[in-house]
Amino acid sequence: MRIAVICSLEYEINKLREFMDNIYDEEIAGTEVLEGVMGRHSLFLAASGVGKVNAAATAQAMISEYTPDLVVNIGLAGNCTADLPVGGAVIATELCYHDMDLLVMEGFKTLASRFATDLAIQALAKDVLTTMNVPFRCGVVATGDRFINSPGLREDIVRRTGCLCVDMDGAAVANVCQRNSMPLVAVRVLSDDAGDTATSDFSFGAVQYSELAAEIVCRICRSLYA
């Protein structure tokens, strides 16, 4: 199986290198891509950089260049729940934008506001997180070009989207995958509470939680059929 793994930070990529063989690098569309083998699968890893445009550009470049069978989008997010701890995870059932209002244009054929993920790989991700004893929920991930560090902003986004967490790239990757009829699984590790201490909490835990995210990807990939 050919699997494209897209994240926003280098931390996940650096950890995933430890689980791969026959590694080499190349550059496509200005993004460094790490290619290698993990068990029976060929993996293509890229850190897109922060933000929706970077994520979308990287996703399209990787789909066009490598024609993967599956896209895995992994990364960190701000917690919007009361029952998950920092260090817990969200498996995305769908992703949406929290900073883009398409309400009056919902009927236009070329526009969509929510993007679903692959149900079969969602189920596999649930099994992986359960085995790892990582607390998790399944639900909506909301994406926008802003780091959320305000309880007021967080609650407004939850009210409008029903999200469990907020990130800065996931819906853009999901949007591109939908346009390419590409199966997607997206998992977010919660690095902060998207509130007043979010900035310092993220800085403190980014490496640790990115390494957890990388381990989740590794286990998902190893659990997949050939």
Model confidence at 226: pLDDT above 60? no
Q: What is the pLDDT of residues 146-155, one digit of tens each?
A: 999 999 999 9
Give the pLDDT mean for 96-102.
Answer: 82
Q: Is 12 a catalytic residue?
A: yes
Question: At 83, is the pLDDT very low, low, confident or very high (cuts 50, 70, 90)?
Answer: very high
Query: How far, in Å, are 3, 125, 140, 192, 198 from residue 221 at the CA level?
Result: 8, 10, 22, 26, 30
Q: Is 192 a catalytic residue?
A: yes
Give the pLDDT mean for 163-170.
Answer: 96
Would you state the pLDDT for residue 212?
93
Pairing verdict, β 89-97 and 114-116: antiparallel
Query: Model pTM greater than 0.85?
Result: yes
Reported in sequence order, the residue ranges of the chain that DSSP labels E, i.e. its strands, are: 2-7, 21-28, 31-38, 41-47, 70-79, 89-97, 114-116, 136-143, 163-167, 184-192
Give the pLDDT mean for 27-55.
Answer: 92
More confident: 12 or 86: 86
Interatomic CA distance for residues 212 and 15, integer angstroms: 9
Pairing verdict, β 114-116 and 31-38: unpaired
Catalytic residue among 94, 169, 192, 215: 192
Residues of the chain with pLDDT > 90, as a percent, come to 74
| Cβ atoms of 157 and 163 closer than 8 Å | yes
Give the pLDDT mean for 195-199.
Answer: 89
Would you state the pLDDT for residue 104?
59
| Helix or strand run (H / E) with residue 154 | helix 151-161
Interatomic CA distance for residues 74 and 218, integer angstroms: 11
Q: What domains are defined for the chain?
A: 2-223 (3.40.50.1580)
Question: At 93, is the pLDDT very low, low, confident or very high (cuts 50, 70, 90)?
Answer: very high
Interatomic CA distance for residues 6 and 39, integer angstroms: 19
